[in-house]
Amino acid sequence: MSQYKKSLGLWNSSVSVWRTIGSGIFVVPGIAAGKAGPWLTLLAMAAGSNFSDMCHVVARMGVSKYPSTGGFYSIYSSVFGKTLSTT
């Protein structure tokens, strides 16, 4: 009986990550297109608009509270500390 290695190598890890990303990019929109039909374009535009608005609000809040350069880093470092903010 042979012994199995209990570790993942670089190849196994990268394949797992790329399969996960690939399924999110290619499989999920296909399922959504099947369910939403012709409304998918309108729904995607609405989701993009909502995301854009949210990013704008977060950016404006960051600039008003932390008016220095690197506003997001300033927010993250004040909340999570410098160690987690740089990773």
What is this structure's pTM? 0.44
Q: Which two tokens stand for residue 2?
A: 């042979």
> Would the pLDDT of 46 be above 90?
yes
Q: What is the pLDDT at residue 56?
A: 84
> Looking at per-residue confidence, does 46 or 59 come out higher?
46
3-state percent helix, strand, coil for the chain, nearest multiple of 5:
80, 0, 20
pLDDT digits over 1-39, tens only? 567 666 767 777 777 777 888 777 888 888 888 998 889
pLDDT over 70 percentage in the chain: 77
Q: Which two tokens stand for residue 7?
A: 């570790």
pLDDT digits over 62-72, tens only? 667 666 666 66
Q: Where are the domains of the chain?
A: 10-85
